[in-house]
Amino acid sequence: MKKVEAIIRKSKFSEVVDALQAVEVNFFSYWDVTGVGNQKIGKVYRGISYSTSDIQRRYLSIVISDSFLDVTVKAILKSGSTDQVGDGKIFVTDIEEAYRIRTGEKGTKSIN
C-alpha cells in the first residue's frame, strides 16, 4: 500500500477530485493549509503594494493499493497543473498496514 500526499492549488481542487474519481480513487482526506514556497503573491492594502510568501493550498492524503499508484499520480499531475510556479508537490510513502475499525479487516481489503 502507498500513501500519496499532494499539495495543490485551491483553484484546481475540483478538477483534481474529478480526475481522481475518474480513475476510481473515491476516498481521501483533505485540509486547507498555508505554506511558504517559491511563488510570491503580490497584494495591495490601502494603496500600498507588498509581497508575501504565505500561500493558501489544499493538502490531500490518499491511501491506495500499489496497483493504483501510477494512475493516481498521473491524474493529480494532469489535472492539477497550470504550468506555473506554485502548482504544488506530490509525495509517496509506503504504508506497512491498514485496518478497518468497523470490521477488523486489514491490508488492501481495509482500504477498498
**Domain count of the fold of the chain:** 1
Range of the domain at 65: 2-110
Average pLDDT of every residue of the chain: 90
Per-residue pLDDT tens for 13-24?
Answer: 999 999 999 999
pTM over 0.85: no
Residue range 20-75, pLDDT digits in tens? 999 999 899 999 998 876 666 666 667 766 655 677 899 999 999 999 999 999 99
The per-residue pLDDT for range 65-75, each reduced to its tens digit, is: 999 999 999 99
Contact criterion met (CB below 8 Å) for 69 and 95:
no
- Grid cell, residue 100, equals 478497518
CATH number of 105's domain: 3.30.70.120
